[in-house]
Structure 1
Amino acid sequence: MSEEKGKLKYVFMIAFLLIIGGVFSAYASFSLLGPKDLGVEYTHEDYLSALEKTGMEIEYKGLTGEALEEYKKDAPKESFHDYNFEFSEYERKEFTLTAEESTALLNEIAPAFWWFDDLQVKVSPDGTMEGSSTADIKRLKADLYSDVVDDVPIPLPNTLNIYSKGQISITNNQLSAQPESFKLGPASLPTKYMSDESVSVMEDYFPRIYTVVPGLEINSLTSNSNGEFVFDGVIPQKVSVTEK
């Protein structure tokens, strides 16, 4: 086993011990009761504003605009392995997004393929970022982490509420994190387990979530004193999705 996979196994073992250590009466809060509410509520206008700032235009099965928005309301979850994605017309973009715009964009841009439900993100006055969601562990393993699934020696729930808080940034597609708090369902990850080793595993594997878009270049993703997310990078302006 490689050293990298060994570290991943170590982190998953910690997660498992936290899960089985909770009482059964609290188990529902791992996924059934919903993730922690950060107080971020968005509107359709927030999504349209975020989409305009990115400049992206999306076509899904021939649908665009309001027709696509109507379809998304009842769209089932799907694996991106069953679809062809064409990304084109890449441009460098610099923009800021409010917590509402960021939350709207993450939830609405590709809900059929996104691995996180009821996601909220925000920036605190001190620049600390918070994130809360219900992670679809089953689909994450199948879509992004199939190469390491066999190295995880313990079962994990199909869905799991996750909450994180800390100093987070991305530079040249590389994640950098200084976590303050991390929760799996109702259980907080003890500070002693937020070691450099655990953080390095997260920094190695988390980028798969955004680098799944070929050619995406995040020069920097930070925050400002207004509580906004600040983006500088190269992103596709046209996205077309068709069935294989």
Structure 2
Amino acid sequence: MFDQTSFAIEAHHLAKTFSTQAGIIRLFNDLSLTIRQGESVAIIGQSGAGKSTLLSLLAGLDTPSSGSVKLSGIDLNQLNDTARAAWRAAHLSFIFQSFHLLPELTALENVRLPLDIRGDKQAEQLAARLLEQVGLASRQTHYPAQLSGGEQQRVAIARAFVTQPAILFADEPTGNLDADTGENIITQLFELNAQQTTTLVLITHDSALAARCDRQFRLEQGILNEGLLS
């Protein structure tokens, strides 16, 4: 069950190494981070700095070489793969720059999918409400190929929030969008986040976007420093 602790995320002494033909690559060696419930946090860094890998570790999509991650008081190291996946499905949501919509499903069906998996009897009504909130009430029956990039990302945002997640991870959510469309997407993301008091972890290379979060961290050479450092 969801543990009502003051910290949504507690990462302690994370290390991540990869074996290659050239030898061992150490992406992180001793990385720690705590994020309070309801807080919005941006992790910024150049391409290749390891931001997406860090997100995967924090979300339990990947396991660290050493160290621990607790989400809402739950130690992910103590869960097997099946239990970890079930916990993610119940409490986490994700937004990616590539949208990850199922092409054979309509906008409404894409948004209601996580509720259908849960067996929620109000899935259609809740999905329709979220699509209306992101301005797509008239596009419910359209398939992803019939939507613009910005519309597809709005569907992805609606899908992420429809389950009222405790924690939302967003990985470069405007990376495939033009500046104006990206600004509209981010406005909607933060508005929904404020309404649901979700903990938001935003991965980005955009300092202006990161500045809209409560706290900012820069990942560089395996070290995580707080603040928008130059």
> What TM-score do you get using the length of structure 2 for normalisation?
0.31
